[in-house]
Structure 1
């Protein structure tokens, strides 16, 4: 093979290598652009029980520090029993990248307070997902859906709510103690089936209300909570620790 042919052969070979490398780089950027941030963080944990265990360990850690989720979210501020006082601050914690957000407040009996969680649709409209009721020890006790008048959000059907809930993620680093936000993220993973069931129960209740009353229920102040489920985190803690352990004070 003459020198000219060798040079041409090398050029063709280098060109093929360049094209191949460029294709791999392009694929890499395409792949990364489609990765859901929440999935990259949590998909290594497959089991619902793993997320429940993470919730328990988080509660234990805070308790050993002499704190709790509700103390952390309130940031040392005065406890105010008023629906218009939001913690940690007005507007709550918003993740502009994912479109999800949350806040905590207190105004209902038989609880210390509760978190509200929201998604944002493609038009920027807020969609309420679930309420997470907390006791004074900072332990979650109830998950619930609420009537539309409570939060003034956009109404969507259960199947759409399911899609938003399955992808729920707020960046934990948006709050000074990231364990508060991690807890909310874990709740959506640990109780995904229960949450989806709550959405379906909500839609069934709305349909029945319309049939019985010939109108929508969205402004009916007699109905705040539409569907709910108690969760047994406290029982899980009791199972895990003996009476000599750290959570003896939550048995009352």
Structure 2
């Protein structure tokens, strides 16, 4: 989404607040030479490929949001990538009325909070900055599959509101998902279109377990560019005309 100007002012304000939070977290960490990734790796010794950081993941028991960071082998990473975050929401944190997609191979997990949904992946560069958002096929994270419209409803529920293992990283990842909400929505919708096309191309297979389909949609991002676009869209929204009692007026007057 290159143009945010069509978004309602209230949503733009929410994006602006999220952008301010992302920058604040980045600033306070930079003062001591730290990054949001470094916070999770501290005290864990050697960085091992595929291992979750922190061990056991980060899970907020109030909001039932979860994330972890990990790295793939260097020859499997895009140039300049270090690793990525995976973000999730568990059923007890989901809005009412949401249920797993009715797939033929769906098996209810044993616990009432186990059918978690992957929300978005966030790729990080070697300097500890986010560079790409991406969605994945079901087999990649072992998630339960939910249709895109339901995952979109989950986004606002992704909140990590506690101090461990890093207050700054927890607040940063929460705010980043909010800041890029418009792009995440588009990526989730594209994910479902890609899955549908692949299923049609290979009708005899199980598309959700197709090892040839790992990343289902992706997009490069830049925090400062996004914040600048939000700021410009907010300025424009103050001059949008609206009509009341037959007279043209402008928002903000």
TM-score, scaled relative to structure 2: 0.70
Q: Rg bigger for which structure?
A: 1
Spell out the pairing of 1:16-55 with structure 2 (5 A cutoff): 46-55=13-22
- Establish whether residue 137 from structure 1 lines up as the match of residue 127 from structure 2: yes
1:118 aligns with 2:83: no
Q: 1:106 to 1:234 in 2, by over 3 A?
A: farther
Contact 1:75 1:88 in 2 (8 A): no
Matching of residues 190-201 of structure 1 within 5 Å: 190-201=179-190
Which residue, 39, 47, 57 being the options, matches 1:92? 57
2:169 pairs with 1:180: yes
1:103 paired residue number: 68
Deviation at 1:142, TM superposition (A): 0.8
Contact 2:136/2:215, CA 8 A, preserved across alignment: yes
Contact 2:133/2:184, CA 8 A, preserved across alignment: yes
Q: Distance in 2 between matches of 1:234 and 1:66?
A: 19
Deviations 1:41-84 (A, max 9, x none): xx9x933123223212321221221111111011232343422x
Equivalent position of 1:23 in the other structure:
none
1:128 touches 1:153 (CA, 8 Å); kept in 2? yes
Aligned residue for 1:47, secondary structure, equals helix
- Which residue does the alignment assign to 1:210? 199
- More helix as a share of residues: 1
Unmatched tracts of structure 1, length 5 or more: 1-42, 239-252
Identify which of structures 1 and 2 has the higher relative contact order when contacts are C-alpha pairs closer than 8 Å and 6+ apart.
2
CA distance in 1, matches of 2:62, 2:161: 9
SS of alignment partner, residue 66 of structure 1: coil
Contact 1:132 1:142 in 2 (8 A): yes
Aligned residue for 1:221, secondary structure, equals coil
* Cα deviation, residue 223, structure 1: 1.8
Give per-residue Cα distances to partners, 1:103-132, cap 9 Å, x unaligned.
111015131111111111153111111111
Q: CA deviation at 1:235?
A: 5.4
User: Equivalent residue for 1:250?
Assistant: none
The answer on whether the counterparts of 1:59 and 1:139 sit within 8 Å (CA) in structure 2 is no
TM-score normalised per structure 1: 0.70
Aligned length: 192
